Amino acid sequence: MALELARASPPQEAKLRSAVSRAYYAAFLTAQRRLGLILTSAYPHAELVNAVRKRRHALGDQLDFLRRQRAKADYELEVKNWEHIWPDVERYTNHILPKLRLL
């Protein structure tokens, strides 16, 4: 879904923001499922990142990068350069999803 949104021609800010969010949630849900976690804290995203970091620190850092980009996409309306942000998000997502599946 994220790729479909991001490949809109011409690039559209709303679709790129949605693509960033979908890419992060693909990684988030994959990690949560693979670790078998029921997230109970008031900060479930940080809780999951920390759980991944305990297993593979660099992978947790990469998930946190996606989390921060998702937060920008969802809450920071002044950010406008999504056509430049999306390629990094796509690269990170393609890099970490296979690794998260092996947790």
User: What does the pLDDT look like over 56-83, one tens digit per residue?
Assistant: 999 999 999 999 999 999 999 999 999 9
Question: Residues 6 or more apart from 31 whose CB is under 8 A from it?
Answer: 48, 51, 52, 63, 100, 103
| pLDDT at position 1 over 70 | no
pLDDT value of position 28:
98
Task: Describe the crossing of helices 57-75 and 13-35 by its angle, rounded to 10 degrees.
Answer: 140
The residues spanned by each domain of the chain are 2-100
Of 71, 82, 86, 75, which Cα lies nearest the Cα of 28? 71
